[in-house]
Amino acid sequence: MATTGHVKWTGGLQDGSGSIDTGSGALDGLTYSAASRFADGDGTNPEELLGASHASCFSMALTLFLETAGYSPESIETTATVTLKQETGAYTIHRIALETIGTVPDITQEQFEEQANNAKEQCPISKALASVPTITLDAKLAS
């Protein structure tokens, strides 16, 4: 299965902007710019989109791992915080922090953490981001 993302950038880096469209049409018309990436400008940015992608992939993987282990998750809520850092004149993503809260009956915190760690290691987006130096996980059960 292949999916597409398309961007058109117009202008220079500081005064230009881009528009984002997806093959499904679900995210068509998103805008981004240097201001939305490096300051408080309107629009999205690549790191925000990467975080949403990672959080959604991880949540689906965790649901699969839980179901495979015999649990019936009611909900999984995940935030991925992507940190961009400038090093020696170049920018790099040096950290992604995953935070997830699951509502899963009949599971212990330890069992939930085990399944969450499996999902973190096995979700396709985590695998694609293997070059990120630090990917952390904080997995909690909803009380």
Residue reference for tokens 């909900």: 75
| pTM attached to this predicted model | 0.93
Q: What is the pLDDT of residue 1?
A: 84
CA distances from 121 to 19, 48, 135 (A): 32, 21, 10
What's the CATH class of domain 46-141?
Answer: alpha beta
| Tens digits of residue pLDDT in 68-118 | 999 999 999 999 999 999 888 899 999 999 999 999 999 999 999 999 999
Q: Is the pLDDT of residue 125 over 90?
A: yes
| Tens digits of residue pLDDT in 21-76 | 999 999 999 999 999 999 989 999 999 999 999 999 999 999 999 999 999 999 99
Domain positions in the chain are 5-38, 46-141
16: left (phi over 0), alpha (psi -120 to 50) or beta: beta
Q: What is the pLDDT of residue 10?
A: 97
- Tokens in use for 33? 């710019």
Q: Is the pLDDT of residue 143 over 90?
A: no
